[in-house]
Amino acid sequence: MEEYLKLGTVFLQKTQNAMPMMVVGYLPVHPETGEMYDYLVVMYPQGWVSDNSLLMIDHGEVGEILYNGFYDEKTDELISKIQAIE
């Protein structure tokens, strides 16, 4: 897998007429299927408006990066832990 996106990263999904999305979390688990995804995202700029506005996607669905999210030493530590789970 490519490097994980940072929290706050805004990107276009690899679909026709894609709307911008923003990363708000990592490794969400679908409550009904138990399937784990790479990212928890919301539509940008709307953000979270209800539980139905939270989407789960995998890295392969990420297209063009519009904005790279915040990055610091703690981000590095967290992403290293996430990659160790894979």
Q: What is the per-residue pLDDT across 49-76, written as a single tens digit (0 to 9) for each?
A: 988 889 999 999 999 999 999 888 898 8
User: b or e along 44-67 (b: 16 or more beta carbons within 10 Å of the residue's beta carbon)?
Assistant: beeeeeeeeeebbbeeebbeeeee
Return the SS3 of 77. helix
pLDDT at residue number 32: 93
Predicted confidence (pLDDT) at residue 45 exceeds the cutoff of 70: yes
Question: What percent of the chain has pLDDT above 90?
Answer: 64
Q: What is the mean pLDDT of residues 20-29?
A: 95
Question: What percent of the chain has pLDDT above 70?
Answer: 97
pLDDT at residue number 50: 87
Using alpha carbons only, give the angle 14, 20, 23 rounded to the nearest 5 degrees: 90
